[in-house]
Amino acid sequence: MADAYDILIIGGGPGGYVAAIRAAQLGFKTAVVEREHLGGICLNWGCIPTKALLRSAEIFHYAENASNYGLKIQKPDFDMEAVVKRSRGVSGQLAGGVGYLMKKNKIDVIWGEAKIAKAPKGGPVEVTVGKMQKPVVEPQNPIPKGVLGEGRYKAKHVIVATGARPRVLPGIEPDGDRIWTYFEAMKPKAMPKSLIVMGSGAIGIEFASFYKTMGADVTVVELLPQIMPVEDAEIAGVARKQFEKQGLKILTGAKVTKVEKGANGVSVTVETKDGKSQTLKAERLISAVGVMGNTEGLGLEEAGVQIERGIVKIDPYGKTNVEGIYAIGDVAGPPMLAHKAEHEGTICVEKIKGLDVHPMKKTEIPGCTYCQPQVASVGLTEAKAKEAGRKVKVGRFTFRGNGKAIALGEPEGLVKTVFDAETGELLGAHMVGAEVTELIQGFVIAMGLETTEEELMHTVFPHPTLSEMMHESVLDAFGRVIHM
């Protein structure tokens, strides 16, 4: 048996590697076991490569519309192979950076598939590490040589940070050819002429936006009455109008009931609520109906760890019901976002250290979708605030009233703020439009500091910036809007 660790983390994604760095900073002897790639889904197959693809699409869009800015660009074109190569390169660079950070912080990286072998009460947890799993897709980086691998390891604390994988609907199993998950959608061999995207959450909408901008005929099919179902209805409505203006076809309240694969593509039967059924045809289908936690094969059930509907049950500090075993990130439940995983990892390790830690506040986790136009939000939607029995004051400010938005040529969008009418507490902020994923953090800080509406109104925002719309939206909630 190898030396005992203070903290051993299973999974080197954003949850796992950030937890490992914080643990090392706090003086813990730390190891990360990873079966495939440092950086996890986020750096290799999620957040980062999608943003690289979307950046190519964004530049292509501006090049196509260059005449709006008085510029002459002859019909722009693209090379999909090069677009994908750039995206993979960005991923590779950042995943390599995680390797460097592990080394710098003297964290052992153990390569292989981990399983909890023994979790004795009060004693160290034992973890076996087997062979590297045959990756779902080829690892972005060659596995570094000369590091730890197969064996049995002991640790006082084991943090499970094994992430998630695509949810699969029965009868609509991805085959990597006609029916894609995000893995295939991330590196298409060729540009599909037509595409159906099943599911309009962040992953589905980002791919729909990418492929539509690059010229594919794209239809999004969403089961619920609203696209981007977790977002404020008004914001999702503005986004939908813009998507449709770009030519994206959207069916809501519509269920995919059958998918037939043929030589030239897929034939998809869709049923709407009123019982009508229609058949859509496309070259490819992207299944984007959510993700599910990687809880299997980890020895969790045998160790007595509670798992509910595929999610490891934890307290607000990441602790499971079994002494010495913790879980963070996607495997510990929604929102399944990288920054939530990172924060959970930090909280978990600091709590183990005995620091005075604040518990995870899920209502203050922002969500961003990097489609065109972008969508960003934090806190309660107007509907959820009302459902919770709050009397609300709502402020709105449209991009058309903002000088910077007009100068950028981005007049479509909305900033919406939801306050408690009685206490002035900022309950939620919701935005759609250019660069809103960079703006939302202002409201996240305000919520975190429990800033009052008065303080927000007294804050000076630089001119000309898109951030002025945040100010105006707050002013509007209290009948003081200036530029509208």
Ligand X SMILES: Cc1cc2nc3c(=O)[nH]c(=O)nc-3n(C[C@H](O)[C@H](O)[C@H](O)COP(=O)(O)OP(=O)(O)OC[C@H]3O[C@@H](n4cnc5c(N)ncnc54)[C@H](O)[C@@H]3O)c2cc1C
Angle between helix axes 80-104 and 47-64 (nearest 10 degrees) is 140
Q: In angstroms, how far is the first alpha carbon of the chain from the final one?
A: 69
At its nearest, how many Å lie between ligand X and the CB of residue 299? 9
Could you say which of 339, 343, 463, 471 is catalytic? 463
Per CB under 6 A, 298 contacts ligand X: yes
At its nearest, how many Å lie between ligand X and the CB of residue 50? 5
Residue 334, preceding peptide bond in cis (omega within 30° of 0): no
Residue 135, preceding peptide bond in cis (omega within 30° of 0): no
Comparison of 16 and 413: residue with beta carbon closer to ligand X = 16
- How far is Cα 328 from Cα 346, in angstroms, rounded to an integer? 9
**80-87: long-range contacts, CB 8 A cutoff, minimum separation 24:** 80/188, 80/190, 80/191, 80/214, 83/53, 83/56, 83/214, 84/53, 84/186, 84/187, 84/188, 86/52, 86/56, 87/49, 87/50, 87/52, 87/53, 87/56, 87/186, 87/187
**Considering only 37-45, 94-102, 238-246, 404-412, which stretch makes contact with ligand X by CB under 6 A?**
37-45
Per CB under 6 A, 325 contacts ligand X: no
Q: Catalytic site residue 463? A: yes
CB contact at 8 A, 285 and 208: no
Q: In this structure, what are the phi and psi dihedrals at residue 257, rounded to the nearest 5 degrees?
A: -105, -20
Comparison of 364 and 455: residue with beta carbon closer to ligand X = 364
- With CB under 6 A as the contact rule, the residue among 200, 294, 320, 398 that binds ligand X is 294
Residue 335, preceding peptide bond in cis (omega within 30° of 0): yes
Per CB under 6 A, 46 contacts ligand X: yes
Q: Which of 121, 126, 111, 161 is nearest to 2 (CA)?
A: 126
**25-28: long-range contacts, CB 8 A cutoff, minimum separation 24:** 25/105, 26/349, 26/350, 26/353, 26/355, 28/349, 28/352, 28/353
At its nearest, how many Å lie between ligand X and the CB of residue 134? 12
Residues from 420 through 459 that contact ligand X (CB under 6 A):
none
Comparison of 204 and 395: residue with beta carbon closer to ligand X = 204
Per CB under 6 A, 42 contacts ligand X: yes
**Considering only 14-22, 96-104, 348-356, 454-462, which stretch makes contact with ligand X by CB under 6 A?**
14-22
- With CB under 6 A as the contact rule, the residue among 34, 108, 231, 232 that binds ligand X is 34
**Considering only 44-52, 247-255, 358-366, 454-462, which stretch makes contact with ligand X by CB under 6 A?**
44-52
Beta bridge partners of 105: none
At its nearest, how many Å lie between ligand X and the CB of residue 39? 7
Per CB under 6 A, 13 contacts ligand X: yes
Per CB under 6 A, 40 contacts ligand X: yes
Total residues in contact with ligand X, by rule CB under 6 A: 36
Beta bridge partners of 218: 195
Helix (H, G, I), strand (E, B) or coil at 348: helix
At its nearest, how many Å lie between ligand X and the CB of residue 49? 8
Residues from 156 through 215 that contact ligand X (CB under 6 A):
161-164, 182, 203
- With CB under 6 A as the contact rule, the residue among 156, 339, 353, 396 that binds ligand X is 339
At its nearest, how many Å lie between ligand X and the CB of residue 148? 12
Dihedral of the alpha carbons of 441, 447, 448, 452, in degrees to the nearest 10: 130
Residues from 375 through 394 that contact ligand X (CB under 6 A):
none
Per CB under 6 A, 92 contacts ligand X: no
For 216, residues 6+ apart whose C-beta sits below 8 A from its C-beta are 191, 192, 193, 194, 195
Per CB under 6 A, 14 contacts ligand X: yes
Comparison of 202 and 250: residue with beta carbon closer to ligand X = 202
Please give the residue ranges that form the binding site for ligand X (CB under 6 A).
10-16, 33-37, 40-42, 45-47, 50, 113-114, 161-164, 182, 203, 294, 298, 329-330, 336-339, 341
Catalytic residues, which ones? 463
